[in-house]
C-alpha cells in the first residue's frame, strides 16, 4: 500500500513539472491543464508479467487494461510499469487511464509480426501507407478514448524496428508497418516524459483526435530507417507539441489530414496546432513537414523556437495534383538552422497516390504562410518554391531571415507558380516572393481571432 502511494505521489510530481510554467506567445500550448493522480493503481507484475526481455507479456498488458476499465467511473486508474524489459505485442488502452513507465522500464515491441494484429486502413487514407489493404495495429492503441495519460520517469518504448525496416526495404511486407503509439478519435490526451525508440514506421500518431498535449518527449530512430516519422498529428485539433527532441529517418514532425479522395471525403482538417521549443534532426527528410497527405486541410498552425540541425530540409510544404484540400494560415517563427541542405521547400509535385481513383481536378490550395525570424548557418540552398501550373501558391511571406549559404547565392532560390512578400531576407529571394505588399501576410496577431472564426 505504501509503495502504491509513493507511485501516485511520483506521478503527481512528474505531471506538475510537465505542465507548469507555460507562458509566452499565443497558442494552444498556453492552455494549462490540471492533472490529478489516479485514486487506483496496479503494477503490471500483478498480471503475471515478467520483465526479462524474453517472456511475452501481451496477455498481461491486455488483462491489466481490461481490469482497469472497471475504475473508469471511480476517478480512473494507473497501470504502473516498473524497471525491467517488458516484451509485448499490440495492446489497447482504455479511458480514464494513466500508463506510467518508471525509470529503466522499457516496453519492447515483439519481433513476431503475428503479435501485431491486422486492422482495416484508416478511412481518410483508404489503404495502408506502405501497401494496399490492411495494416498492422500499432504497439499501443486507443480508440474513442478520453482522459488518457501516457507518461513516466523517462521510461522507454522501443519498437525494435530494424526487422520491419528490412522487410520494407526487401519488399517482403504483407501489410503496412505499425506505429509505436496510435490514438484514434480520442480526446483529452497527455503524453510526456518518455523516450520512443526504433518505431517500425511512425512513432506517435494521433488521428481524428482533439485536446492533446505532447511534452518532454524524445524520439529516436536510425537515420537510414525508411519513412520513420516522429510525431504525426493527423486530422487533429487543439494540439500542443513542446519541449521535445526528435531524430528520425524521415520527417521529424509531419502534419497530415488524409490522402486524396479519401481525405477529401472524410473532411477532417488538422487545425489549431502549436509547436514550441523543439529540437529536430533528419538527414533524409524534413524537420517540420506539412503533407504530403493533406487532403482534409491543414490550417492555423503556429510553430516557434525550432532548432533544426543536420537535416535534408528545414521546413517543407508538400502536395500534388489530386490532393485537394488546403494548407493555409501558418506562422513559423524564431528558427535556428545549422548544417541543412535546403532551408525551405514548397512543392506541388510530391509523392504518390493511394490508387487510381483520385480526381486530377482536385487541386490543393497553399496560401497565407509566414516564415519569420530565422537564422541559418551552413545552408546549401535557401529555398525551392514550386507551385502548380494554374494553381499557384500565394501570400507566402518571408521576414527577417538570414541564411549563410555555401552554394552560389545567385542561384540559391528557385521559384515558379508562387507569389509573396519578403522583407529583410538574406540572400535576396527571387522576384516572385517580392510581388505583394505586407498586407498579404498572415501574422501572429491574427492567429487567435481567425482560429476562433
326 or 453, higher pLDDT = 326
Spatial distance between the Cα atoms of 363 and 324, rounded to a whole number of angstroms: 5
Question: Would you state the pLDDT for residue 5?
Answer: 39
Question: Would you state the pLDDT for residue 435?
Answer: 80
Q: What CA–CA distances, in Å, run from 14 to 103, 154, 446? A: 12, 10, 35
Diameter of the chain by CA atoms? Answer: 70
For the record, the C-alpha cell of 247 comes out as 531524430
- For 62-72, the pLDDT digits (tens) are 999 999 999 99
Spatial distance between the Cα atoms of 453 and 439, rounded to a whole number of angstroms: 20
Share of the chain above pLDDT 90, in %: 85
Over residues 269-290, mean pLDDT? 97
Over residues 430-444, mean pLDDT? 80
In this prediction, residue 448 has a pLDDT band, given cuts at 50, 70 and 90, of: low
- For 222-265, the pLDDT digits (tens) are 999 999 999 999 999 999 999 999 999 999 999 999 999 999 99
Segment among 10-19, 185-194, 329-338, 435-444 with least mean pLDDT = 10-19
Over residues 54-68, mean pLDDT? 98
Question: Would you state the pLDDT for residue 24?
Answer: 38
> What domains, with CATH codes, occur in the chain?
1-247 (2.160.20.10), 251-352+361-453 (2.160.20.10)
298 and 266 Cβ atoms separated by less than 8 Å: no
32 and 19 Cβ atoms separated by less than 8 Å: yes
Task: Give the ranges where 196-340 is alpha helix by DSSP (H).
Answer: 260-266
Question: Would you state the pLDDT for residue 436?
Answer: 77
- For 2-22, the pLDDT digits (tens) are 344 334 334 433 333 333 322
Question: Would you state the pLDDT for residue 449?
Answer: 58
- Among candidate residues 234, 235, 241, 232, the one with its CA nearest the CA of residue 212: 241
Question: Would you state the pLDDT for residue 197?
Answer: 98
pTM over the 0.95 mark: no
Res. 91: pLDDT tops 60: yes
Over residues 116-141, mean pLDDT? 96
303 or 16, higher pLDDT = 303
Spatial distance between the Cα atoms of 322 and 293, rounded to a whole number of angstroms: 10
- Neighbouring CB atoms inside 10 A of 428's CB total 14
Residues 6+ apart with CB under 8 A from 255: 232, 233, 234, 270, 273, 289, 290, 291, 294, 298, 301
Give the SS3 label for residue 89: coil
In this prediction, residue 300 has a pLDDT band, given cuts at 50, 70 and 90, of: very high
- For 351-394, the pLDDT digits (tens) are 789 888 899 999 999 999 999 999 999 999 999 999 999 999 99
For the record, the C-alpha cell of 182 comes out as 496510435
Length of the chain equals 453
89 and 49 Cβ atoms separated by less than 8 Å: no
Strands 181-184 and 187-197: unpaired
Look at the alpha carbons of 66, 67, 70, 73 in this order and tell me if their dihedral is positive or negative: negative
What b-and-e string marks burial along 8-26, b requiring 16 or more CB atoms within 10 Å of the CB? bebbeebbeebbeebeebe
Spatial distance between the Cα atoms of 129 and 125, rounded to a whole number of angstroms: 8
Over residues 409-416, mean pLDDT? 91
In this prediction, residue 32 has a pLDDT band, given cuts at 50, 70 and 90, of: low
Q: Identify each DSSP E strand in 221-325 by its residue range.
A: 237-247, 253-255, 270-281, 286-290, 298-318
Spatial distance between the Cα atoms of 282 and 311, rounded to a whole number of angstroms: 5
Question: Would you state the pLDDT for residue 116?
Answer: 98
In this prediction, residue 35 has a pLDDT band, given cuts at 50, 70 and 90, of: confident
Res. 439: pLDDT tops 80: no
Spatial distance between the Cα atoms of 369 and 273, rounded to a whole number of angstroms: 14
**What average pLDDT does the chain have?**
92
In this prediction, residue 305 has a pLDDT band, given cuts at 50, 70 and 90, of: very high
Spatial distance between the Cα atoms of 371 and 421, rounded to a whole number of angstroms: 10
Kindly report the backbone phi and psi dihedral angles of residue 328, in degrees, each rounded to the nearest multiple of 5, phi listed first: -155, 160
Amino acid at each position: 500500500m505504501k509503495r502504491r502511494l509513493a507511485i501516485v505521489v511520483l506521478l503527481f510530481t512528474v505531471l506538475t513539472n510537465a505542465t507548469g510554467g507555460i507562458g509566452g506567445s499565443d497558442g494552444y500550448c498556453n492552455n494549462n491543464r490540471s492533472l490529478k493522480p489516479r485514486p487506483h493503481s496496479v503494477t503490471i507484475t500483478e498480471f503475471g508479467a515478467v520483465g526479462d526481455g524474453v517472456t511475452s507479456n501481451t496477455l498481461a498488458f491486455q488483462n491489466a487494461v481490461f481490469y482497469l476499465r472497471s475504475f473508469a467511473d471511480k476517478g480512473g486508474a494507473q497501470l504502473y510499469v516498473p524497471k525491467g524489459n517488458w516484451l509485448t505485442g499490440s495492446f489497447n488502452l482504455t479511458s480514464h487511464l494513466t500508463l506510467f513507465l518508471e525509470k529503466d522500464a522499457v516496453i519492447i515491441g515483439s519481433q513476431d509480426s503475428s503479435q501485431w494484429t491486422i486492422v482495416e486502413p484508416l478511412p481518410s487514407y483508404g489503404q495502408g501507407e506502405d501497401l494496399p489493404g490492411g495494416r498492422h495495429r500499432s504497439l499501443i492503441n486507443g480508440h474513442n478514448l478520453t482522459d488518457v495519460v501516457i507518461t513516466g520517469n523517462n521510461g522507454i518504448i522501443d519498437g525494435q524496428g530494424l526487422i520491419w525496416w528490412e522487410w520494407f526495404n526487401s519488399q517482403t511486407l504483407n501489410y503496412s508497418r505499425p506505429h509505436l503509439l496510435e490514438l484514434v478519435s480520442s480526446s483529452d490526451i497527455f503524453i510526456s516524459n518518455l523516450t520512443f525508440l526504433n518505431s517500425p514506421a511512425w512513432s506517435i500518431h494521433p488521428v481524428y483526435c482533439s485536446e492533446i498535449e505532447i511534452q518532454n518527449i524524445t524520439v529516436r530512430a536510425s537515420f537510414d530507417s525508411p519513412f520513420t516519422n516522429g510525431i504525426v498529428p493527423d486530422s487533429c485539433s487543439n494540439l500542443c507539441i513542446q519541449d521535445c527532441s526528435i531524430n528520425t529517418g524521415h520527417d521529424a514532425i509531419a502534419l497530415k489530414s488524409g490522402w486524396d479522395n479519401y481525405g477529401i471525403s472524410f473532411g477532417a482538417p488538422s487545425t489549431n496546432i502549436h509547436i514550441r521549443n523543439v529540437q529536430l534532426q533528419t538527414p533524409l527528410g524534413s524537420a517540420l513537414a506539412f503533407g504530403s497527405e493533406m487532403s482534409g486541410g491543414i490550417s492555423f498552425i503556429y510553430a516557434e523556437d525550432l532548432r533544426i540541425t543536420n537535416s535534408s530540409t528545414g521546413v517543407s510544404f508538400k502536395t500534388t495534383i489530386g490532393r485537394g484540400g488546403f494548407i493555409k494560415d501558418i506562422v513559423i517563427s524564431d528558427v535556428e538552422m545549422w548544417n541543412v541542405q535546403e532551408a525551405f521547400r514548397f512543392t506541388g509535385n510530391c509523392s504518390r497516390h493511394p490508387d487510381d481513383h483520385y480526381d486530377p481536378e482536385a487541386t490543393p490550395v497553399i496560401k497565407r504562410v509566414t516564415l519569420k525570424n530565422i537564422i541559418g548557418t551552413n545552408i546549401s540552398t535557401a529555398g525551392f518554391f514550386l507551385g502548380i501550373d494554374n494553381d499557384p501558391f500565394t501570400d507566402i511571406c518571408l521576414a527577417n531571415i538570414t541564411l549563410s549559404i555555401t552554394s552560389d547565392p545567385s542561384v540559391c532560390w528557385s521559384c515558379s507558380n508562387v507569389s509573396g512578400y519578403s522583407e529583410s531576407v538574406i540572400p535576396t529571394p527571387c522576384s516572385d516572393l517580392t510581388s505583394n505588399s505586407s498586407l498579404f501576410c498572415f501574422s501572429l496577431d491574427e492567429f487567435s481571432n481567425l482560429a476562433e472564426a
